Structures are given as structure tokens and as C-alpha cells.
Chains A and B, each alone.
Chain A
Amino acid sequence: MLDRQGLHLRAALFASIRDFFSSRGFLEVDTPLRQPVIIPESNIVPLAAEGQYLQTSPELCMKRILAAGCDKIFQLCPCFRKGERGRYHLEEFTMLEWYRLHADYRHLMDDCEFLLAEVAFGMAKDGAGTGPGGEDGGGGRFDLARPWPRLSVDDAFRRYSPLSLERSMADDCFEEMLVEHVEPKLGFVKPLFLYDYPVEMASLARKKPGDPNWAERFELYLHGVELANGYSELTDAGEQRQRFARELTRIEAMGGSHGGMPERFLADLERLPAAAGIALGVDRLFMLLAGYGEIGRAVPFGPDDF
């Protein structure tokens, strides 16, 4: 359980996140936590709730709001993913998502650089200095001054993995190589953007214009921990439908349950101009900035508090 100082620090983080986006003209939205239809993703298992599902991410609803013409939106909300429990995973966690019309993934990387500097400063003002991370409250361990290094997935594998990216994909061990050899090297001192993923891992990201083998997707790493996943949005409803169909088949093959094809979302996607969006794990960010060693200690009530 977070102590009084931890609760104050966490509230300061939430407040400075809201300040950051409000002052830049982003509209705060709140979408339902429980929905009948969710994103079909075979690697993410939803929690069922009375015939519906608890959201695994607010992405579909937020993109529908975007398609309705709001050009900059953000949301801070709980998300739920069944069976995810570890040092950096909770089944229920707090997500920050933001979306921009007429933007691509590079705009989001810029947002990240400004956002983290500002919220770390906000927390420091609000009594960091005696946090559990040590004298500097944790935040001081990092150098958040921009620009941050950007490394393509291909280059990262060349640099750190015993198997090349191509070989890892062919041998079906991308995740193993990433987790064991690449991630532990990323984002020390300065945060790092790992960008341009193989198109097989695109999900809802658009292909790189002129190079369809790659998706315009990136992940933000700090201290070896994945903090955020952002991309230039796929706005081709036909292609998105095919990708969802493939995922639905996989989910069924695994014996999982799903809410079917997100038809209303696909219909709205037809109207969505170029856009970019990102999801950032707020509990992980708080854990790192305040110096808690594991995510379960960085939330007001962790799994061990019941």
C-alpha cells in the first residue's frame, strides 16, 4: 500500500499529466471501462464482465472520438489484462493514452520528451527528495533532457541480440531475443525510442510509406522497462478488418473468447484522417520516477495488499 507521501507523489504525477495536456489544447475524454466489443488481439486476454469485457485499452473508443473531429484528446484510465502479473505487470493498471490528428509517430516521440521532463519536474516540486528511490526521489537518476536516442528494432537486434531480427522472426523467437538480450540494454540514464517494427507486429499501426515491411510503431524504454507504445494509426479500414479477422481466428484457435468484429469502429475508421496515438503505462512511469522497485508497490493498493 502506498504511504501518505507516495499518495501525494502519485497525485502530483496525475495532476502534472493533466496540466501538460490541457495546456497544449488536448481534450480530456472518458470512455466506458466495460464494452461489448474490444480490440481483437490474440496476445492480450480480456477480463469478462457480465457478458461484456473490461477494456484492455481505450483505443477503439478514443479513435472513434478522433474520427468525429476532435483533433487532440487524452485519457487517464484503468485497463485490465488477464493473467499479466509480474514485476512490471498488474492485471489492472493505469493507462495514459493520447491521440493527435494530422500527425505521425514522430510527433508522439516529441510529446514524450516534453511530457516526461515536465512530469518529473512536477513530482520533484511536490516533495520528491525523500522518496523510496533515495535522496533524489528516483527522478534524478535519469537524464531526461531532450533529444533522446532513437534506435530502430533492426539496429537494436544487430547490436544486442545473438540472432538477427530476420532470423528471430523466422525462428519464432522475437520475444525471447527482445526480452533477454535487447530490452535489458535500453534506456539507461536517458530514455530511448525503439522504432520501426516488422509489419507482422503492427496490429493497429500503419505501414511505413514506401517500405511495407515495416510498421511506423515505437516503444519508449526507460531503465530497461517498456513505458509506452505509440504509432502512426492505420486508417485503412479494409486492411484493419483483415488484421482483426486474423486475430479473431487466432483467438478462436486458442479457445479464447471475444466480442466479435468491431464493426462500429471500422465504420468510423473510414472517416479518420491521418492520426497518431500512444499508450503509456502510468504505474510503471511512477514506479521508475519515484524509485519503487516493482509495479505492485507503486499503486495505492497492490495485489499483496488484500
Chain B
Amino acid sequence: MYTASDLRKGLKVQIDGNPYIIIDFEFSKPGKGQALYRCKMRNMISGNQLVQTYRSVDKFEKADLEERKMQYLYNQEDEYHFMDTDNYEQLFITRDHLGDNVNFLIDNMEVEVLFFNGKAIDVSLPIFVNLVVTQADPWAKGDTSGTDTKPVTVETGYVLQVPPFVEEGDRIQIDTRTGAYVTRVKE
């Protein structure tokens, strides 16, 4: 159990059966009054945010969270299969749960999977991934139409805007937090 005085930014607690992470925290104490602990929290499953004010007497359950290193194996329709690299245990996470992450998953990629009460709730990818461009229109030299980007498709099927010099077969680096092009990678 945590008490209110343990509350701080980054702490993870369990409220009504859900894991929350404290994303903003403020201590206040009006003169001669009780201490108040104001927390802005994010539900780690739904992403919903809430603001709550607690007092010294309030207590909190620890969120039973575990992070495991896993390797992405393959997907079968909406089921994305991962393997624990320590004990080779396999499991799948649905496409809905993975959200935009599916755009950047390639076979054998190492990821961190977050478990709450034994259930996978989140996958953290490396911040930068390198993906091969599978489809790109050729760069029309002398094109002065003024557009300085063009759309390409990468091996996961994800489509993004890149500079016009990027060609089919190139490997490009993508920021998984924003989904944006970073640079062309030299082989």
C-alpha cells in the first residue's frame, strides 16, 4: 500500500481495479489546514485522464505491473504474436490493443510489453525503427510544383510523407512516437 505522502510524478497506483500513472502532482497545505495531494493521473489501459485531490489519510494499492522483454514473431489477422525472450513463453495481443504500433512492427523486433495483473496492456517500441520502402513514385526531376514531400509505403503497409529523393528499396528511419520520417539510412 502507498499512503498519500508517497504520491509523486511517475508513481503507478491502482484505483477501482485500474492501473493509473501520476502525470502531474502538486502538494498544497493551506495555513493551519490539512495537507492536500492533487494528482493528475492517466488510466494506463484506456488512456483517460483524471484529476483527484487526496488527503494524508488516503491509501492506495500498488498497481501490479510488470515489464517484460519480448520479441515480435508474426501476425495472424488481428492477432499479433510475441515471445518472451527469457522463458520463450508466447502470447498474442490484438490489433485494437496495439493501435498505431502495428505500423512499425517487423518480425523479430524486440519490444517491452507491460503487464497488469498478468494481462498485456501496452507495448513500447524502440523510439526509432528502420523500415524498407516497398512502394514509392519515382522522383520527377525538375518537378517544380512546389511540393517537397511525397507519400511512400513501407514494409508494414504504413504510408507516410518523405522527401522526394527517397526511392523504392531504401531503408528509412521513422520516429515511432510521431510516425514521422527522420532520415534515409545508409546500408
Q: A83-B5, A180-B53 are in contact. Are A175 and B27 (CB under 8 A)?
A: no
* A203 near B32: Cβ-Cβ < 8 Å: yes
B106 CB, nearest partner CB in chain A, Å: 41
Q: How far is the CA of A43 from the CA of B33 in the complex (A)?
A: 6
Contacts of B26 in A (CB 8 A): 86-87
Q: A176-B53, A180-B53 are in contact. Are A84 and B27 (CB under 8 A)?
A: yes
Among B28, B33, B56, B57, max chain A CB count under 10 A is at B28
Nearest B-chain residue to A173, judged by Cβ: B53
Q: How far is the CA of A174 from the CA of B36 in the complex (A)?
A: 11
Q: How far is the CA of A174 from the CA of B29 in the complex (A)?
A: 12
Q: Does A179 contact B (CB under 8 A)?
A: yes
Contacts of B5 in A (CB 8 A): 83
Q: SS class of chain B's interface: helix, strand, loop or mixed?
A: loop
Q: A83-B5, A87-B26 are in contact. Are A175 and B31 (CB under 8 A)?
A: no
- Could you tell me which residues of chain B, from 29 to 77, have a CB within 8 Å of some CB in chain A? 29-36, 38, 53, 56-57
Contacts of A83 in B (CB 8 A): 5, 35, 56
- Could you tell me which residues of chain A, from 56 to 101, have a CB within 8 Å of some CB in chain B? 83-89
Q: Pick the contact of A179: B28, B32, B57 (CB < 8 A).
A: B28
Q: Tally chain A residues at the interface, Cβ within 8 Å.
A: 22
Q: Does A229 contact B (CB under 8 A)?
A: yes
Contacts of A229 in B (CB 8 A): 31-32
B3-44 toward A: CB 8 Å interface, digit per residue (1/0)? 001000000000000000000001111111111101000000
A9-49 toward B: CB 8 Å interface, digit per residue (1/0)? 00000000000000000000000000000000101000000
* A226 near B53: Cβ-Cβ < 8 Å: no
* B27 near A201: Cβ-Cβ < 8 Å: no
B11 CB, nearest partner CB in chain A, Å: 14
Q: How far is the CA of A8 from the CA of B78 in the complex (A)?
A: 65
Q: Does A283 contact B (CB under 8 A)?
A: no
Among B31, B36, B56, max chain A CB count under 10 A is at B31
B9 CB, nearest partner CB in chain A, Å: 12
Q: How far is the CA of A226 from the CA of B27 in the complex (A)?
A: 14
Q: How far is the CA of A59 from the CA of B31 in the complex (A)?
A: 15
Nearest A-chain residue to B51, judged by Cβ: A180
Q: How far is the CA of A197 from the CA of B136 in the complex (A)?
A: 72
Q: Does A219 contact B (CB under 8 A)?
A: yes
* B27 near A179: Cβ-Cβ < 8 Å: no
Q: Does A251 contact B (CB under 8 A)?
A: no
- Could you tell me which residues of chain B, from 92 to 117, have a CB within 8 Å of some CB in chain A? none
Q: How far is the CA of A90 from the CA of B51 in the complex (A)?
A: 24
- Could you tell me which residues of chain A, from 90 to 118, have a CB within 8 Å of some CB in chain B? none
Q: How far is the CA of A254 from the CA of B27 in the complex (A)?
A: 20
Contacts of A174 in B (CB 8 A): 33
* A201 near B32: Cβ-Cβ < 8 Å: yes
* B27 near A87: Cβ-Cβ < 8 Å: yes
Contacts of B32 in A (CB 8 A): 41, 43, 201, 203, 229
Q: Does A178 contact B (CB under 8 A)?
A: yes
Q: How far is the CA of A96 from the CA of B56 in the complex (A)?
A: 27
A240-263 toward B: CB 8 Å interface, digit per residue (1/0)? 000000000000001000000000
Nearest B-chain residue to A83, judged by Cβ: B5
Q: Does A183 contact B (CB under 8 A)?
A: yes
Q: Pick the contact of B31: A85, A180, A226, A254 (CB < 8 A).
A: A226
* B27 near A85: Cβ-Cβ < 8 Å: yes
Contacts of A88 in B (CB 8 A): 28
A232 CB, nearest partner CB in chain B, Å: 15
Nearest B-chain residue to A81, judged by Cβ: B29
Contacts of B33 in A (CB 8 A): 43, 174-175, 178, 201
* B36 near A43: Cβ-Cβ < 8 Å: no
Contacts of B38 in A (CB 8 A): 179-180
**Minimum-distance CB pairs A-B, first 8:** A86-B27, A229-B31, A175-B33, A179-B28, A178-B30, A175-B34, A83-B5, A203-B32
Q: List the interface of chain A (C-beta within 8 A of B).
A: 41, 43, 83-89, 174-176, 178-180, 183, 201, 203, 219, 226, 229, 254
Q: Could you list 30 examples of A-B contacts with CB < 8 Å? A: A43-B33, A43-B34, A43-B35, A83-B5, A83-B56, A84-B29, A84-B35, A85-B27, A86-B26, A86-B28, A86-B29, A87-B27, A88-B28, A89-B27, A176-B36, A178-B30, A178-B33, A179-B28, A179-B36, A179-B38, A179-B53, A180-B38, A180-B53, A183-B30, A201-B32, A201-B33, A203-B32, A219-B31, A226-B31, A254-B57
Q: List the interface of chain B (C-beta within 8 A of A).
A: 5, 26-36, 38, 53, 56-57
